[in-house]
Chain A
Amino acid sequence: MDSSVLFGVATIGYMLSMVAYITYLVFRNRQIGLVATGITVASFIAQTIAFLMRWVEGYEMGLRSFWRPPISNLYESLIFFVWCLILGYLIIEFKYRNRSFGAFITPVAGLALAFIEMTGMSKEIQPLMPALQSNWLLAHVTMSFIAYAAFGLSFGTALMYLIEKTEERTEPAYIFWTVSLGVLIVLLAAMGLDFMKYHVLATNSEVIKDYLFRATFKSGSSVVSLASWIGSVIIIALVWRYGYLLKKIVAAFNISTDLLDELTYKTVAVGFPVFTLGGLIFGAIWADQAWGVYWSWDPKETWSLITWFVYAFYLHARLMRGWRGRKVAVVAVVGFVAVVFTYLGVNLLLSGLHSYGALG
């Protein structure tokens, strides 16, 4: 058996646990909750073993030195992100004895894994280009993804906070979270359609990159493209119209909004220093060693800085009068959108200097 089998098991496991947590959220049945936790823990163990196996495999194939954990291309980093996210989530679940966060965190993991499958990115263990053989880079990547996972957790709790706190459909915060959720659903659906239409064709990364949204928004036929835009607007409108149903479910759990606010702050307070040190400082040191410039304003770097500023804004906004609660929760959600863009958007939509993280 090789690591990919176990990764597959873990992927399916996380998908199942996502379903289980959501079912638990709807029916509030203790048994279902236990099953959800059980599946998550089992998948987490499977993924941990798979991670170690992949580490050894890379070494045995002579492609990686023994000191290189497998966190060096987009596929591996996404997997590592999911691992950190689930670990962070499990800690919160056990510490606060509350499972309902699961329904908001596991979908983030599910999305990351679905993204891997949908884009059909390469899962092979690849040799490292010279620029990537650096311990600074290793520390940079590892810590960045730990921070991203912490930000992912804060995204989940901030979203729950917003859902619980908003009352009116005309309220800006309500509009904000429903539209965000709507856009997320639209993007996923569009990627799903690309996947169904082009997956057979897509054999290498360039092809996939070119085909992103070809089945919908960027379709050659203007009818399809127009229909996609109209469809998106309808989906977002529906989420907006019926968002209160979700609110009812979440509200039924009686999680105190203060706890959600505190959790959001705490996870940001872990993510921010880790991201500063790993994401920005170590990244700069690596760039300095490898390219001779510690900062070159390339899109990836700039987006890291933007993300950093958004979270700095979050931390400072909490210190301003009248900015507790709803407004800062919006900032935490926006922060994670910036994280996702830094992580994927730059590679997919903007072309950067960083060859690292390409879909190949």
Chain B
Amino acid sequence: MIEQKKGFVDWIWDFFASIKLAAVLFLLIALSSIVGTVIEQGAEPEKNLMFLKRIFGDALAPSAYRVFESLGFMDMYRSWWFITLLVLFSANLIICSLDRFPRIWRLVREPLKPISPLMVKTVSIRKEMRLKGTPEVVKEELRQALKSLGFGAQDSSIEDGGFQLYAQKGRYARLGVYITHLSIVVIMLGAVIGIFFGFNGYLPLQEGYASDIAYARDNTPHKLGFTIRCDDFDVEFYDMSDMPKVFRSRLTVIKDGKEVLKKVVEVNSPLRYGGYTFYQSNYGMVPDAKGYFILKVRGSSGKAVTVNRMLGESFVIPGTEIVGTIKDFSPALATDNSGKTFTYSDMMNNPAVYIEFSDSGKAKYSGWILKRFPSTWRLPDGNIVELVDYWGVQYTGLQVRKDPGVWLVYLGSGIMTLGLYLAFFMSHRRIWVLVSREGKYSAVTVLASASKNRPSFERKVERFIADLSGGADG
């Protein structure tokens, strides 16, 4: 009974230690992943139904949809069978590595031994030569030559005055493969932790407003444990185009009523606080919001003041009697061929404010002042009114994420980099120099092996021999 059970465990172990299973899993995962790139994942049913109609025709599409759906193709990477593949893959990777690791570890840890006659045949590089001088005489020279090759050699004597020098380098390269495999496990662990304990949601925040909750994808509120406030949002454009250059949210974190952190969040520069990360994701206008026009007003006397006014309100240019009244606003002002103005977008692509000026009650002049065009700030009489912002009408769309597993993913990535470097760019090199007496001469046999890039090591060994043979005979 016990015998049989052991056999079964062994069978399982061998099954998972096999590199053939790895090959099969590589192919299965790669091929099945293709399905998920063709069928849109997590899309509205209509979209994929349309797509299936094009392939299977109108009549078959609904049943095809049902079949696909029951196979989990519409949300494939979370389907039971895809997860199963990944679990099998991890098991394969772990058991296969465990299976081979002890042997490799021994190879790495055990000090190099003099080569035995039996092993000679297994070594791939083999060169011979004859040096002038008895073995005792050439020993130091050979040791120095090995040193200049980067090998600090040990030696052992064999009978009849002969000896062996041997050394190795880069033995940790052997671990590269295992480190690489380990890193994959670490990354997958991080991903699993993220899936089970993470939060992924969003938070739209109007300028001037604050919130202590974010929303999950299904709109359920999620308590953050602190408050986040949007002080300002703005977009900067490339020169005269509507191509955005920078989106920017000025955020403040408030904890227990105190401001604890201020940060300008841009697309590639998120805010991190309390385990959460806030990313600039999108933005927009709040319909019917009443905002403040922030104007920087400079009279010809040179004094500048900043004023905040709402639509319809007025302000005075310092040092004068001139009164400006805000009459109209356009988020994106453009002029058509006949010179008439119109609004071409409901986003703040080109904010403009229409102001009427009067001097002691008499209408003086009026016109559009555009945020992006400084030439419109200068009034006919030399006074300057700059539109700094129309504040309070935009919201910033923040993506909110908490992922307690992400550090493992990063750690795994680092380990993987190290592992791949060892596996592909380092090589375990071993060299044995066998010397025996031949009258007044020494017969030298150089045996060497490299776990990677053998030809390059072979060339090095050849050069080593050529250098020595400078003083050699035949």
Contact = CB atoms under 8 A, between A and B. Distances in A.
A185 interface: no
Interface centre among A273, A285, A310 (most CB of B within 10 A): A273
Contacts of A277: 416-417, 420
A202 interface: no
Contact of B279 (A133, A272, A290, A306): A290
Contacts of B23: 313, 316-317, 320
A269 B245 contact: no
A350 B30 contact: no
B347 to A, nearest CB: 15
A187 to B, nearest CB: 19
Listed residue (B36, B246, B416, B420) with the most chain A CB atoms within 10 angstroms of its CB: B420
A316 B239 contact: no
Interface in B404-418: 406, 409-410, 413, 416-417
Contacts of A295: 191
B19 A320 contact: yes
Given A133-B267, A303-B37, A273 B424 contact: yes
Given A130-B267, A281-B417, A320-B23, A305 B33 contact: yes
A62 B243 CA distance: 13
A306 B35 CA distance: 11
- In this complex, the interface size class of chain A, counting residues with CB under 8 Å from chain B, is 35 or more
A353 to B, nearest CB: 11
Given A129-B244, A130-B246, A316-B26, A302 B239 contact: no
A157 B124 CA distance: 25
A317 B23 CA distance: 7
Nearest to A311: B26
A297 B41 contact: yes
Contacts, number: 106
A273 B30 contact: no
Interface in A284-315: 284-286, 288-295, 297, 299, 302-303, 305-306, 309-310, 312-313
Nearest to B27: A313
B34 interface: yes
Contacts of B268: 130-131, 133-134, 136, 286, 289-290
Nearest to A297: B77
Given A284-B409, A292-B401, A269 B424 contact: yes
B399 interface: yes
Contacts of B41: 297
B38 A129 contact: no
B241 interface: yes
A310 B26 CA distance: 7
B212 interface: no
B343 interface: no
Interface string B364-380: 00000000000000000
B318 interface: no
A127 B241 contact: yes
Given A63-B238, A276-B420, A292-B399, A129 B27 contact: no
B363 interface: no
A272 B176 CA distance: 14
Interface residues of B, number: 48
Contacts of B153: none
A319 interface: yes
Nearest to B96: A316
A313 B31 CA distance: 12
Contact of B401 (A134, A285, A293): A293
Given A130-B247, A281-B416, A350 B37 contact: yes
Contact of A297 (B36, B269, B400): B36
Nearest to A338: B30
A290 B267 contact: yes
B226 interface: no
Given A134-B268, A277-B416, 12 more contacts: A127-B238, A127-B245, A273-B421, A273-B423, A276-B420, A288-B406, A291-B279, A299-B37, A305-B33, A310-B30, A316-B23, A320-B23
Interface of B: 19-20, 22-23, 26-27, 29-30, 33-34, 36-38, 41, 77, 191, 200, 238-239, 241, 243-247, 266-270, 277, 279-281, 399-401, 406, 409-410, 413, 416-417, 420-421, 423-425
Interface of A: 62-63, 127, 129-131, 133-134, 136, 269-270, 272-273, 276-277, 281, 284-286, 288-295, 297, 299, 302-303, 305-306, 309-310, 312-313, 316-317, 319-320, 346, 350
25 contacts: A129-B243, A130-B244, A130-B245, A130-B266, A133-B268, A270-B424, A273-B421, A277-B416, A277-B417, A288-B406, A290-B267, A290-B279, A292-B270, A292-B400, A292-B401, A295-B191, A297-B36, A297-B41, A297-B77, A309-B30, A309-B33, A317-B23, A319-B19, A320-B23, A346-B37
